[in-house]
Amino acid sequence: SGSAFYGQAQAAQSFATAGTALEKFANLKGYSLSVGYNGSYVESVNGVGPDGNYVNGWNYCVMRQNTSGTWEIAADSLVIGAGEYKVKAGDVVYWVYAPYADVAQYNEAKCIELNS
**Do 83 and 10 touch, CB atoms closer than 8 A?**
yes
- Whole-model pTM: value is 0.84
Distance CA 25, CA 42 (A): 14
Report how many helices (DSSP H) and strands (DSSP E) the chain contains, helices first.
2, 5
3-class secondary-structure state, position 37: helix
- Position 45 scores a pLDDT of 95
Distance CA 110, CA 4 (A): 27
- Position 59 scores a pLDDT of 94
Q: What is the CA radius of gyration of the chain?
A: 14
Beta bridge partners of 17: 86
From first to last of its 116 residues, the chain has per-residue pLDDT tens of 556 666 665 555 567 888 889 988 999 999 999 887 766 688 999 999 988 887 899 999 999 999 999 999 999 999 988 888 889 999 999 999 999 999 999 999 999 999 99
